């Protein structure tokens, strides 16, 4: 019997004071992703579409949309990145509450080991997701070179 190992996962759950459609646009629309994550981005929020996340050379990464439910979920399977990220999938699941707050359940799964890059990526995601929150709630855009 073959045992399948799923690897390790980064999780971050947090509220954003906005409706889910606004949060979804910020996580799935390349024109808005660049306000809180990559320097440049392209792609369409449809299953099977390719996204390009460009962070400056040599960080020109690609992923495939593996789940996309408008205003509910958006997941990307990395296809061309560095060796630690290649086997991984990251995603956002959105849960809108009655009081105009959307809870974001973020994950980045499939890490082979909990190495220094895993730990650093978890920290970076926390900072970037706070940038997402500030962008959606307050319109704050942190310049790319200061997103570290």
Work out the average pLDDT over 67-88.
Answer: 96
Relative orientation angle of helices 116-138 and 20-28, to the nearest 10 degrees: 130
CA gap 90, 67 in Å, rounded: 10
**pLDDT-wise least confident of 65-74, 94-103, 128-137:** 94-103
- Three-class secondary structure assignment of 82-117: CCCCCCCEEEEEEEECCCCCEEEEEEEEEECCCCHH
pLDDT digits (tens, 9 = 90+) for 88-123: 999 999 999 889 999 999 999 999 999 999 999 999
Coil, helix or strand for 55? coil
CATH of 8-140, one of 3.30.530.20, 3.20.20.70, 3.90.1150.170, 3.40.30.10: 3.30.530.20
Q: Which of 1-5, 44-48, 78-82, 84-88 has the lowest mean pLDDT?
A: 1-5
pTM given for the model: 0.93
In angstroms, the Cα distances linking 93 to 67, 80, 106, 140, 147 are 10, 23, 6, 22, 23
DSSP character at residue 1: -
Sorted by where each begins, the domain ranges of the chain are: 8-140
Q: What would the mean pLDDT of 34-55 be, rounded to a whole number?
A: 98
Q: Give residues with Cβ within 8 angstroms of 144, minimum separation 6.
A: 34, 38, 39
**Structure tokens given for 47:** 């299953």
């Amino acid at each position: 019997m073959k045992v399948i190992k799923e690897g390790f996962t980064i999780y971050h759950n947090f509220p954003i004071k906005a409706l889910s459609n606004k949060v979804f646009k910020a996580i799935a629309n390349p024109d808005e992703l660049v306000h809180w994550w990559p320097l440049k981005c392209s792609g369409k929020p449809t299953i099977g579409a390719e996204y390009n996340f460009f962070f400056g050379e040599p960080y020109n990464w690609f992923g495939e949309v593996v789940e996309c439910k408008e205003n509910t979920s958006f997941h990307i399977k990395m296809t061309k990145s560095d060796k630690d990220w290649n086997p991984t999938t990251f995603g956002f699941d959105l849960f809108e509450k009655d009081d105009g707050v959307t809870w974001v359940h973020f994950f980045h799964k499939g890490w082979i080991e909990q190495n220094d890059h895993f730990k650093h990526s978890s920290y970076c995601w926390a900072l970037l997701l706070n940038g997402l929150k500030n962008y959606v709630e307050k319109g704050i855009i942190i310049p790319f070179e200061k997103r570290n």
